[in-house]
Amino acid sequence: MPEVGPLLALLRGIRRRLRLWVALEGAVAGAAVAVILIAAAMVAAHAAGQTIGVRGPVALLTAAVALGALIRGVRRISLASCARFADAALDGQDRVLSALFLRDQETPLARALVIDAAARARTLAPGGAVAPRRPKGLPALTIGVIVLAAAAIVPVRAREARALIAPPRAPGIPLPTSILDVERDEARRAAAAAVALGDERLAQLAVELDGTLRRLAAGKISDGDALEQLAALQRRAAEAAQEAAREAQALAAAQKALAAEAATRGASEALSNEDGDAGSRARAALGAAAGENPKETARALSAAANGVSSALGESSQGDRDGNGQRRLSRPDEKGADDGAAGPKRENDGERKLERLQRDLGDASNACSAGDPSCRSKAEKSGDDLGRMAGRQASSESLRRLERAVRQMRERLGRGEMRGGDQSAMRGFERSAHGDNGQPGQGKGQQGQQGQQGDSQQGDGVAGGEGSGEAIADANSQDGKSGKDGKGGGKQPGKGDGAEALGEAIALIQEREAEESRSTGNGQGNGAGGPPLGQRGDMQSRGHETEARVTSGAGPNRAEVIGGAADRGFAQRGYARVFSDYQAAVEDALAASAVPEGRRYVVRRYFDLIRPRPGRTGKAQR
């Protein structure tokens, strides 16, 4: 049909125009997506303290525009869709669409239809059928551009990023003395424990911690250097604690072996005492046992040597595994690690245990062979075991020191010590004292520390400590420590590590002297909080709770009618009345008074209101 030609030409023109517009829409949508992605990337980069260049975003934008245009532009556009546009531009009576689908029919009306549509289509241009329109993705693109502009103008930096890049502070900036009080107390406590137990390792660590704290407070080292030193200290404390645990294991095995023989049972009991005199008692007990019953003593010492040997084997295996895992989990501390120090320490510990095992074996052999040196060797073994018994008590102090050093590293790393979050510091103080949230437990601490006074009590939960008592304790401490402070470091050492122990004693005395100077000047004068158990005067306010509701029009009529028969709603009386009426209903339905067309509705109604069985399936009667 010749009239079809112009009609199809019009539709193809419309299709080209449509393709152009949908490609434009695709480009806009792609640009919107790209802009939003770029904005998100920019925000993320700013949060990480970085910047993104121009080339990447431009490439992304170009690619997204091209891809969007391509995806939308190559989609199939049917001539029927184009005909709909043409009809909409004409009179909306689908003449062009009908002509398109009926153009092959040879009926008179179909031909007339095509002629009519072609005649009308001649008055229409493709541009008139597809008017310019605003791309659908334009609002999204606008929003994306605004977000991008905001992201470019306002750099956002996350807290983590600030923590990472903020610390480079100039070395030599002193810290307020009080900010390190908690750590210095820990150092002093460790020093006191070291002196009491005679543990030179603990003393060494305590003195080094105190030295680091002093240098940090005086601004002699930077935060970074302090962090490195603290890391090394922490690692050494952890290793020392581990070594102490290993020794404790070996000692327990030896004790068990000695307790198995009647002659050496006294030595085993002597090793159980934690009064610091275990060494001399064990020495005496073993010497006596060797003199009186060398055979039994030989067996006991041999068994003890075997116990130490087995403990040594287990701990060596455990150390190897633990060291491997520790190195894997702390790659960042590689620089702070002093390399061979770790294995060397472990080897020292192992050598000590090996030496002990060897000495026990020698003593056992000597006693078994009736050698005259049996007694002296047994006494030496008792000495060694006694020293080990004294050191095992230092394990807890070492762990405590390691924990304190770790927490200080964390505080320093977060910048809390240099004007950081004070509440976080107070929280740390509480956790360091072990009185987090438990009123009354920190009372002794208050008294000893004095200068923390009211503020510390204010942080407690309904703390009821009396400040007067705290002052009295502090003052009495003042008198003693002032007197003893001058004698620090002059006590004679004994054996290896005596110098460290002497420094530890000096540290204790110096710290006590500081406390005595800082207390007594009005600290702790404030009134204490309400006693534990009394009601405080804190104003309480109720809080609003948002109740979730489901919006809707409520039950419809059918549901109301149906719900009337539900179990729980329908009572026994209802069921009885219904059964009375049921027969009448059936009679009425059977009668011709109810229209046929309405019987279904009436029957359905009575079906719905029939009392239904509950969830248990038991009918309600």
Partner 1 sequence: MTAPADRAATDDIAAAAVAGFRADVDRLLAEVARRIVGQRDVAGAVTSALLAGGHVLLEGVPGLGKTLLVRTLAEALDLSFSRIQFTPDLMPADVLGTNLIVEAGAPGEMSRRFEFQRGPIFAHVLLADEINRATPKTQSALLEAMQEQSVTVGKQTYPLPPPFFVLATQNPIEMEGTYPLPEAQLDRFTFKLRVEPPAREELHGILDRTTGSEEPAIRPVLGRDRLLEMRALVRQVPVARPVQDYAVRLIEATQPTRSAVAEVKRFVRYGSSPRGAQAVILAAKIEALRDGRFAPSFADVRRVALPALRHRVLLNFDGEAEGATADVVVGAVLAGLPEMA
User: Which positions touch partner 1 (CB under 8 A)?
Assistant: 80-81, 84, 87, 92-95, 97-102, 105, 107-113, 115-116, 556-558, 561, 595-598, 600-601, 604-605, 608
Cβ closest to partner 1, residue 220 vs residue 603? 603
| Nearest distance, CB of residue 563 and partner 1, angstroms | 12
Minimum Å distance from CB 591 to partner 1?
12
- Please say whether the beta carbons of 9 and 108 come within 8 A: no
SS3 100: helix
151: nearest Cα among 51, 284, 279: 51
Cα gap 602→592, rounded to integer Å: 13
Strand partners for 603:
none
Name residue 196's amino acid.
A
By C-beta, is 81 or 518 nearer to partner 1?
Answer: 81
For the bound state, the minimum distance from the C-beta of residue 139 to partner 1, rounded and expressed in Å, comes to 24
% helix, strand, coil for the chain, step of 5: 70, 0, 30
On the CB side of 97, how many CA atoms lie within 13 Å of its CA?
16
Q: Which is nearer to partner 1, 112 or 149 (CB)?
A: 112
- Burial class of residue 168, CB neighbours in 10 A (0-12, 13-18, 19+): exposed
CA 137 – CA 60 distance, rounded (Å): 17
> Smallest gap, in angstroms, from Cβ of residue 56 to partner 1?
42
Q: Which is nearer to partner 1, 129 or 405 (CB)?
A: 129
The CB-of-552 to partner 1 minimum distance in angstroms stands at 14
Shortest Cβ 35–partner 1 spacing (Å): 32
User: Which one, 146 or 560, has the nearer CB to partner 1?
Assistant: 560
- Whose Cβ is closer to partner 1: residue 292's or residue 607's? 607
420 DSSP assignment: -
- Minimal distance in Å, beta carbon 596 to partner 1? 6
- Write down the residue that tokens 């153009």 correspond to: 103
- Least distance in Å: CB of 594 to partner 1? 9
Q: Which of 312, 427, 407, 421 is nearest to 358 (CA)?
A: 312
Concatenate the DSSP letters of all residues of 166-227 into one string.
S----TT----GGGGHHHHHHHHHHHHHHHHHT-HHHHHHHHHHHHHHHHHHHTSS-HHHHH
Handedness of CA 89, 92, 97, 103 (dihedral sign): negative
Q: How far apart are CA 213 and CA 210, in angstroms?
A: 5
8 A C-beta contact, residue 224 and residue 215: no
CB of 588 to partner 1, least distance (A): 14
Min separation Cβ 555 and partner 1, Å: 11
What's the farthest any 2 CA atoms get from each other in the chain?
Answer: 140
**H-assigned helices in 293-371:** 294-329, 341-368
What is the rounded distance in angstroms from the CA atom of residue 370 to the CA atom of residue 419? 72
Which residue type is seen at 439? P
Instruction: CB nearer to partner 1: give 109 or 583.
Output: 109
**Choice between 92 and 492, CB closer to partner 1:** 92
Q: Which is nearer to partner 1, 51 or 105 (CB)?
A: 105
Contact of 389 with 279, CB cutoff 8 Å: yes
Between 98 and 518, name the residue whose CB sits nearer to partner 1: 98
Measuring CA to CA, which residue among 245, 248, 243, 247 is closest to residue 343?
243
**Please, what is the minimum distance in Å from the beta carbon of residue 557 to partner 1?**
4
Q: Which burial class, exposed, middle or buried, applies to 95 when counting CB atoms under 10 A from its CB (0-12, 13-18, 19+)?
A: buried
Torsion of CA 400, 403, 405, 410, to 10 degrees: -160
Closer Cβ to partner 1, 109 or 538, answer by number: 109
> With respect to partner 1, which residue has the nearer C-beta, 78 or 579?
78
Residue 71's contacts (CB-CB under 8 Å, 6 or more residues apart) are: 26, 30
Q: Is 618 left (phi over 0), alpha (psi -120 to 50) or beta?
A: beta
Report, in Å, the least distance between residue 16 CB and partner 1.
Answer: 20
Compute the least distance from the CB of residue 102 to partner 1, in Å.
5
Tokens coding 7? 């009609």
Are 381 and 301 contacting, i.e. CB atoms less than 8 angstroms apart? yes
CB of 129 to partner 1, least distance (A): 16
Nearer to partner 1, 587 or 596 (CB): 596
CB of 146 or CB of 601, closer to partner 1: 601
